[in-house]
Amino acid sequence: MSELILHHYPTSPFAEKARLLLGFKGLSWRSVKISPVMPKPDLTALTGGYRKTPVLQIGADIYCDTALIARRLEQEKALPAFFPEGQEMIATSFAAWVDSVVFQHAVSLVFQPESVAVRFASLPPEAIKAFLADRAGLFSGGSATRLSAEQARHQWPTIMARLEQQLQREQGDFLFGAPSIADIALAHPLWFLKATPVTAPLVDAYPAVSAWFARVMGFGHGASSEMTAEEALQVARDATPAPLPDEQFEEPNGFEPGQQVTIAATDYGVDPVAGELLFAGSEELILRREDARGGVVHVHFPRFGFRIEAC
């Protein structure tokens, strides 16, 4: 069985989500550190241009977006379950809402001037300017619109008051009783806020939330060991992609296996990835790509939140 390889960087909130996913499952994995900003030549040699963090690699199969990474890890180890039986729609839909709406609020609050000054205090002005310019590019061209810090501050108490009430009344220790993808999805934007004393009170002021957050963070990150980017590329070159899923699915827009297409996120980080469409299912799209450094790889995307276009 191929090792789980996570391409990530320490301060990425969605990378923290992926690390918690791995910890919840009690999995061992290899850690490849990537740059927080473009260019990311070692990563894009595997993804074909997808730049968002994190990316999961298993041999020559490359998984983009944490929503799909969670589904792949569920295949790797069924229990404990991210999607408890009978709550699949609730847990998945709540996680998708968090990854868009709550995360958008957290980003605006983290990148307000007072927070930026503390968060990047040890960096030279040129590095801060480069990071903010990169993020401006990341959030351009897609459907996601930047929420003003003023509006995020205005709406944040409503989100947290609802969460506090839910947790106070919930009979179990987690959002919907048993722990699920919903808890991990909600924990990572709060983790992002707790990184500096400027934004940490936005979480710490709510006792039930704080207690719940500590329980989720207690899942840990599993067992990781370092791997270089070149080693990960060698793994991809030496491996054969896994067999395609056998799901029977009628593609609603008529795309067919063997067709040359591009796939891109619709919200932000909308850089398209071109390749041969191998599979289109209800949850997953798979492209075949060949790269001089990465070899032949299958790049996997979620259907939800991504678009597909003919070349």
Predicted TM-score (pTM) of the model is 0.96
Confirm if 67 and 58 have CB atoms less than 8 A apart.
Answer: no
Name which of 53-57, 143-147, 172-176 the model is least confident about.
143-147
pLDDT at position 208 over 90: yes
All structural domains of the chain with their residue ranges: 4-80+223-310, 88-217
Confirm if 66 and 99 have CB atoms less than 8 A apart.
Answer: yes
pLDDT at position 123 over 90: no
Phi, psi of 208 (to 5 degrees): -65, -40
Confirm if 60 and 240 have CB atoms less than 8 A apart.
Answer: yes
pLDDT at position 139 over 90: no
Look over the chain and give the mean of its residue pLDDT values, rounded to a whole number. Answer: 96
User: 129 pLDDT band (50/70/90 cuts)?
Assistant: confident
Report which residue type is found at 231.
E
pLDDT value, residue 55: 98
Q: Which CATH architecture has domain 88-217?
A: Up-down Bundle (1.20)
Q: Does domain 4-80+223-310 have CATH number 3.30.70.890?
A: no
User: 1 pLDDT band (50/70/90 cuts)?
Assistant: low
pLDDT at position 131 over 90: no
Confirm if 72 and 21 have CB atoms less than 8 A apart.
Answer: no
pLDDT at position 75 over 80: yes
Match 């609603």 to its residue by tokens: 252
Confirm if 80 and 87 have CB atoms less than 8 A apart.
Answer: no
- pLDDT tens-digit profile of 166-205? 999 988 999 998 999 999 999 999 999 999 999 999 999 9
Residue-by-residue DSSP string for 25-86: HT-EEEEEE--SSS--HHHHHHHSS---S-EEEETTEEEESHHHHHHHHHHH--SS-SS-TT
- pLDDT tens-digit profile of 6-37? 999 999 999 999 999 999 999 999 999 999 99
pLDDT value, residue 130: 85
Q: What gap in Å lies between CA 176 and CA 166, rounded to an integer?
A: 9
pLDDT value, residue 137: 83
